[in-house]
Chain A
C-alpha cells in the first residue's frame, strides 16, 4: 500500500495523464450526454451573476449547472492532490527552459508557479497587471470569442473530428508562441524583476 501511495506521489508521466484526460470525453457523454468543455463555465457564471440583459447571457444557465459542479470538482481535486498526494521534491523544469527564463529574470524553479510572479504582493504592480489582470482577461475574452478552450476545442472538438476546432487549436498555439517569443521579453523588460 505504501508503495502505491509512493508511486502516486511521484509526478505522473504524460502517457498516464493524457489518456486519463481523454477518458473524460466518454465519461461525461455516458454519464449524462454532456460534451466536455470548461470555458463555458465562465459564461454560466456571467449568466448567473450579472446577465445585465445582454442577449449572450440570457439563456437557461441552470440547465448547465453540471458544468459549474464539474469546475468546482476541479478546484477540490487541486486541494486534495496538494494536501495528500503532493510530490515532496521540486518540479523538474527542462534545463533549456530554465536558461531562457533566467535571462528574463525568473530564477525560482522550486514550485509549480514562479514565485517571482504569482504572489499577492504583486497584485497592484505591473507584474500583477500583466500576469493576472490582462492575462486573465485575454483567457476569458479569447476563449469565449473562439467558442471554447483547450478542452472544448483541442480535446472534445478534435476528438469529434470537427475541423473548426483544429483551426481554433492552431491559433491557440500561434498566440502562445507569439506571446512567449515576441511579447514576453518586451513585457519582462517593462516590469523588470
Chain B
C-alpha cells in the first residue's frame, strides 16, 4: 500500500496521472539523454537477433505451440520466466541498485477484467498473425514488410481501446 501511494504521488508529479497509468512505467528518477538511450537500442538489437535466430518470429512456431505439437515455444517462454524469477529474486534479496544507484522499483499489476477479455482477444490475434507486439518489429526487420500493415492495425487497435477505455468493463 505504501509503495502504491508513493507511485501515485510520483506519477502525479511526472504528469503520468492518466485514468489508467502506463503499465510498465519508467521508474528512473533522473532523466536520460538521447545518448544514454542508446543502451536500450543495443538491448533491443540483441533481443531482435534472438527472436530471428530462434525462429520465434515464425508463424509456424506459434501454430506448433497452439497445436501442442512442439515443445519449443513452451521451452522458450518457460525458461525465460525461470531466469526472470531468479533475477528479480536476487535483485530484491540483495537490494541491488540500478546503474545510476537508484533502488529498483517494479510496479505491481492490479487485476482488471481486461486481463480476461482483452487477454482472450489478444490470443485470437496472436494465433492469426503469428505475432505478439515484440516479434512484429522483428518480422518487419527480417523482410516481411507486409507485417507493417499488421503493425499499423495494431496501433489503430490500441488507439480504439484508448478512445473507448472508459466505456469498457474494467
What's the minimum C-beta distance from A134 to chain B, rounded to whole angstroms? 7
Which residues of A sit under 8 angstroms from B52, Cβ to Cβ? 77-78, 81-82, 85-86, 112
Q: Which of A129-150 contact B (CB under 8 A)?
A: 130-150
In angstroms, Cα B121 to Cα A145, docked, is 9
Interface size of B by Cβ–Cβ distance < 8 Å?
Answer: 133
Band of interface residues on A:
35 or more
Query: What 0/1 readout, one digit per residue, does chain A (90-116) give for beta carbons within 8 Å of chain B?
Result: 010110110011000000010011100
Separation of A87 and B98 alpha carbons in the complex (Å): 37
Q: With CB as the reference atom, state the residue of chain A lying closest to B141.
A: A78
Q: Which of B59, B79, B145, B157 contacts A19 (CB 8 A)?
A: B79
Q: Return chain B residues, CB-CB under 8 Å to A117.
A: 59
Kindly name the residue among B39, B71, B76, B98 whose own CB sees the greatest number of chain A CB atoms within 10 A.
Answer: B76
Task: Report if A126 contacts B (CB, 8 A).
Answer: no
Q: A33-B28, A43-B22, A55-B19 are in contact. Are A179 and B83 (CB under 8 A)?
A: no
Q: Please tell me if the beta carbons of B119 and A171 are within 8 angstroms of each other in the complex.
A: yes
Cβ B39 vs Cβ A101 within 8 A: no
Would you call A16 and B54 a contact (CB within 8 A)? yes
CB-CB under 8 A from A172, the residues of chain B are: 119-120, 122-123, 126
CA distance A82 to B144 in the complex (A): 11
Please report the C-alpha to C-alpha distance between residue A11 and residue B70 in the assembled complex, in whole angstroms: 15
A38 touches B23 (CB 8 A): no
Asked if A18 is at the interface (CB within 8 A of a chain B CB), the reply is yes
CB distance from A44 to the nearest CB of B (A): 8
* Cα distance A8–B46 in the bound complex, in angstroms: 13
A21 lies within 8 A of chain B by Cβ: yes
